Structures are given as C-alpha cells and as structure tokens.
Amino acid sequence: MARIVFDLDGTLIDSAPDICAIANGVLAPHGARITLAQTHAFIGHGVDTFVAQMRAATGLSGALHEEMVAAFKRGYLTSFTRTEIYDGVVPVLGALAQAGHRLGICTNKPLAPCHAVLDHLDLRRHFGQITGGDSLPVNKPDPAPLDATFAGLGDGARLYVGDSEVDAQTAQRAGVPFLLFTRGYRKKPIAQVPYDRSFDDFAMLPALVADLLGAR
C-alpha cells in the first residue's frame, strides 16, 4: 500500500475566505485591504511571503513586516468559520485508509493553525503525519518537508496530492508522482503545471491512485 500526502489549503479545504479576513483584519489599522482574488494569488509560500505580498500590494512599509506577521499568525489560530472542506474529501479519505493507504499532510501553513483548522473540521483523525510550514527550517518547494512527512508514514510507494505550482515543484524535487487538484489556488493554466494525473472531483482520486500505483 502507498503513503499518500496531501497539501491542505486549496487541496483539502477552501480556506481563502478566512485567510482574506485575517489579512484584512491585519491591514485595517493601516487603512488598507486586499480582495479575495488577491488572497488566492498570495497563498502558497507561507505566512511570511503572504504578508510581504499583501504589503507590497497595499504600499505598506517593510518596517511593519514582523508586526504584521505576528498579528497574522495570531489570527490564524482562531479564524476558520468561513473555511469549508471540498466536496467528497471526507469519504475519499476514509476509502483510501480502508484500502490500506497511510495518509499525511504537508503544508506551508504553520503547524498550530493547521492543527486548529483540522480539529475544527474533524479532519485530523485521518492523518498519521502532519508537517507544517514551521516544522522544519525550510518549507515547500524545498522537498525536505515532504520527505519528512513520508518518512513519518513508514514504508511504501509515495504519492503527493496538491493544487498549486508550489506543490508540483515540491513533488518534482522529491521525485514523487503528483496528482493535481484543479479547483484549488493554482495561478497558471493546467497545461503549464507538471503533474502525473489531474482531477476536479475527489470521487476520481481512488481510481487515479490505483492507476498510478499500477503503472509503477
């Protein structure tokens, strides 16, 4: 059986509305705000990069950076009421586990907010290993967090499921087959993102996993 690792934001959950609300809460004292579309564009590289991009978009000084990162992380711990699980995720996670696969998460979201949202949505129980953006000194697209997540799941074939260019690059660097969820926060056209299989409905995922494993 395989070890299957998932990205979180834009793959298992649609968290952009909450992330946008956190960002605008941080920006409000400075008379600035960003849109949901901008939020989608900034997600993927972790909090530090997100804050740098939202500062640049709103013309705010770099002197505010550390203060805004800290405020953003505080908001991350309790802001998940607008976040929704993508359709089909829960039954598919159950089906994959029942088939004997071991499941993990590798995300650039900091670990504490990751646990908080997973607990709120009752998803944490599905995963044997969770690696956050601050679990190691580096984050995706460096392959080290993904490699560490697989290592925590024991032995077996490796597959990575994500929604973005960052995830695709991480999989390439780790030498892992990549399944692209096409309804997430990808910035480029699908044709410009390297992947082994793609899907827009989680009901498709078990068959794609079986197909990839059969091709190995």
Domain ranges of the chain: 2-14+84-215, 16-76
What are the tens digits of pLDDT across the range 15-39? 999 999 999 999 999 999 999 999 9
**C-alpha torsion angle, residues 118, 14, 29, 67 (rounded to 10):** 50
pTM listed for this prediction: 0.92
- pLDDT in the model for residue 209: 97
Whether the Cβ atoms of residue 37 and residue 187 lie closer than 8 Å to each other: no
Catalytic hit among 7, 147, 163, 167 = 7
Q: Does residue 18 carry a catalytic annotation?
A: no
- pLDDT in the model for residue 76: 87
Compute CA distances 71 → 47, 63, 168, whole Å.
Answer: 11, 14, 30
Q: Does domain 2-14+84-215 have CATH number 3.40.50.1000?
A: yes
Whether the Cβ atoms of residue 164 and residue 10 lie closer than 8 Å to each other: yes
What are the tens digits of pLDDT across the range 124-172? 999 999 999 999 999 999 999 999 999 999 999 999 999 999 999 999 9
